[in-house]
Chains A and B, each alone.
Chain A
């Protein structure tokens, strides 16, 4: 039976986050934690494939205990099982250490039930990297397929998948062996409102919660901050545009001043201009 694992993340909702005007940084306390919007599409696609081919959908995430809420959201969408790995030793992980920890969780899940397909969202809205999905695929030594915007066919018996990968000027049709990993575009599907039975199930659902000690063959040195090759050395407010100069006068005078500013870059207006 087909077993799909969707990898998800709980993130602060950067759309409605408030700024601290003094430090010019986001005030994270003002932002509610939500299921990363890209991951909702990953879970939705997994559920649709389950409806098409039969099988089970599991979701896995790494995060603090409140991430249970994000897993419940996935149950609402139609996932069957949820796994949270949570431990202080995971904290401060960059993308390399994150893909390591999530891979260890997937390895454990697949011992219980072999995994045919892993689906990730394109990226998270707080990290914005898109690096964890391909990282997991490399660690499991399965093909990573990024930019997937359509699943044409999945054949768990003959062990292959055919998908469309979005390109800048169209798409390519790619066939891959199974198991493999998809990172999916937002355009792959629309996430509808959840049916009531799913919502009821989600309300009662308790995910599996694992600490580092529940996972197998874990090299502690590769976890969290310690296992992260990249470090943030400094954080600063980006320089604001110098101006914010108001152009005064009548509309015509304002337009004239603007024209002279813009025409300093007149090379842009000559034919195709620039590079």
Chain B
């Protein structure tokens, strides 16, 4: 394997319902930095049916090239067909790095592709860098339950691959009208060659809680004492337009559904603001929220570990402080709206 043959940084462009997934846009932002540092192209690999128009978005968010596989066989995501697309493209155009979103589709696809290539694959990366001269990808992720970070390298194989957590990298400001090169590819794959068929897609009508996509999360713990006490969390969240999170204890006590649980056995979240109210801060919780932009903790116990893992802490009674906060936010936010309205 001659590493000199492998050039360029690629992002797998995940698409659904005629839209590019936000994680793919974030990865174009991260990939742009890697590509610029190396002085190579940034490309998107876009697979689907009737998706050519999405290339516009991919260029606007930073790609120089899009490799496009637009065929009826790619109507639904299926591991085998999409994998063959990525493998075909990688064989022909030889990238040095391929990044995938760490979504269920991205992880499924990357695992299959890496096995067939074969190459190394780092899962759930939260930091990316590249060595300028060697092109070695430095993919870092929380390891061993998230108490330490580890940097993973793949020295002897190309391309290097990683899946990257959503909401960790930053998308670039889109540049309207920014254009690039579309390389249209096809593979000769018949429906009979694919051993799985998607028979039906069922959308759940009940709106699912997606706390991993929230910019603001107000999370409550056992310190709130009861189901009734926990309603304070809902109230604050509503006031500031945040989502409600919870510690494991609270979910196990049945005060709120598991979809709200933050932590190792729940959801990993990276909101811009995270309120931890009445949460002591067990490791299992901390690993799920510590990459949040601004962490605010309110707890009675000054020694609670949550205070080691926050930016600002208030030692005190949530039932005293939170109602005051709600009142202040209500005032402040209504004033903001007036300000904006008068400017507009």
A residues apposed to B, CB below 8 Å: 14-15, 17, 19, 24-26, 37, 94-96, 99, 125-131, 133-135, 137-139, 142-147, 162, 166-177, 180, 228-238, 240-247, 251-252, 254-259, 261-263, 265-266, 268-270, 273-275
Contact = CB atoms under 8 A, between A and B. Distances in A.
Given A173-B198, A259-B332, A274-B215, A229 B108 contact: no
Contacts of A265: 272-273, 293-294
A144 B79 contact: yes
B296 interface: yes
Most buried by B among A26, A236, A241: A241
19 contacts: A17-B283, A25-B148, A96-B114, A125-B145, A128-B124, A130-B111, A134-B108, A138-B115, A169-B203, A173-B198, A174-B196, A230-B120, A232-B150, A235-B149, A238-B142, A244-B309, A244-B310, A255-B324, A263-B332
Given A26-B147, A96-B121, A259-B329, 11 more contacts: A14-B284, A17-B283, A137-B112, A168-B103, A175-B196, A231-B154, A244-B307, A251-B324, A263-B332, A269-B333, A273-B215
A269 B201 contact: no
A66 to B, nearest CB: 19
Contact of B79 (A127, A129, A143): A143
Contacts of B200: 172-173
B328 A146 contact: no
B201 A170 contact: yes
B324 A252 contact: yes
B308 interface: yes
Nearest to A122: B104
Chain B's interface: helix, strand, loop or mixed, by majority? Answer: mixed
Given A125-B264, A130-B111, A268 B123 contact: no
* 4 residue pairs, one from A and one from B, having the closest CB atoms: A229-B120, A243-B311, A230-B120, A129-B123
B115 A99 contact: yes
Given A19-B283, A162-B199, A265-B273, A235 B148 contact: yes
A222 to B, nearest CB: 9
Chain A's interface: helix, strand, loop or mixed, by majority? Answer: mixed
Interface stretch (B91-99, B180-188, B223-231, B314-322): B314-322
A128 B123 contact: yes
Interface in B131-188: 138, 142-145, 147-157, 171
B254 interface: no
B131 to A, nearest CB: 11
B118 A96 contact: yes
Nearest to B139: A230
B154 A245 contact: no
A236 B108 contact: no
Nearest to A28: B144
Given A129-B123, A177-B195, A242-B311, A134 B111 contact: yes
